[in-house]
Amino acid sequence: MIFCYEYINNMLIFCLQYAILYNMERILIADDDKATCESLKLALRRDGFEAFFTGSGAEVLRLCCAHSDNPPALLLLEPALPDRDGLEICKEIRGFSDLPIIIISARDDVAAKLLGLAFGADDYIVKPFDAREVMARIKAVLRRFKSGKNTKGNGIRIIEHDNLAVDMNRYEMKLGGKVCELPPKEIELLFHLASNPNKVFTRDQLLDDVWGFEYYGDSRTIDVHIKRLRTKLEGVSDKWFLKTVWGVGYKFELIENN
């Protein structure tokens, strides 16, 4: 047992060093199914990524923690890990990092997908999967993540309304002058809506504008993010709110002064 642990640990270290040497983006696969891991590893390497995997939830947190010297570029996460619930791991990571996370699960019901997105995942893929689709989704998520990061410092991108300020240069939201933490995708969605007051957007438009046209996920992810934003913005102001336009989509509604 000790030999097995040391071997796995040494292999993880080797993969990290190899990826650093060749400047490859590292993808962490968190799954205790060896066949799934090997399948993903081959597909990732074919597309120029370095892949390493673990079946331990505790190891996932160690590798992704804020103090890690070489955190992965993206995490592929199976919710049903032996030692920890994958969704709780996702939620915990969201507490200290905006690391891109894609859930890979055998559950294909809508409730499971919405729950995964609510816990902070960027996308959800159902097993069994086509490796080409997985690669397309990984690249799309990474592209959106990098695009969001690259907006910092590219000019002033601040929107202000009553008791609300969203600064995309800092990826920061202030409510009543106090900084409040938001996941990257929530702040991007809020900024987009607040920058276009009283304009109605369909779910598909929001997916295109905020997530990118390459997004393969369910449009219900918009509903999940709006619900989470409403919870955080509740009672902040009576001069604006996130309104549902039934049968169409959503808008950031400004209350006109009489």
pLDDT tens for 95-128 read 788 889 999 999 999 888 888 888 888 889 999 9
pLDDT of residue 153: 43
Per-residue pLDDT of 138-196, as tens digits, reads 988 887 777 655 544 444 478 899 999 998 877 889 999 999 988 888 998 999 999 88
Q: What CATH number is attached to the domain comprising 173?
A: 1.10.10.10
Same structural domain, 95 and 172: no
Give the chain's mean pLDDT: 83
Same structural domain, 168 and 111: no
User: Lowest-pLDDT range, 12-21, 51-60, 74-83, 133-142?
Assistant: 12-21
Cβ-in-10-Å burial (0-12, 13-18, 19+) of 69 comes to exposed
- Using the predicted structure, report yes or no on whether residue 219 has a pLDDT greater than 80: no
Distances (CA, A) of 64 to 44, 68, 205: 19, 6, 33
Same structural domain, 63 and 164: no
Q: Considering the chain, what percentage of its residues have pLDDT values greater than 90?
A: 45
Q: What CATH number is attached to the domain comprising 66?
A: 3.40.50.2300
Same structural domain, 8 and 121: yes
Task: Using the structure block, give the residue that is written with the tokens 């507490």.
Answer: 95
Domain count, the chain: 2
- Using the predicted structure, report yes or no on whether residue 252 has a pLDDT greater than 90: yes
Same structural domain, 21 and 124: yes
Structural domain that includes position 12: 2-150
Domain closes at, from 110, 131, 150: 150
pLDDT of residue 231: 94
Same structural domain, 91 and 68: yes
Domain closes at, from 111, 127, 150: 150
Same structural domain, 141 and 182: no
pLDDT of residue 217: 61
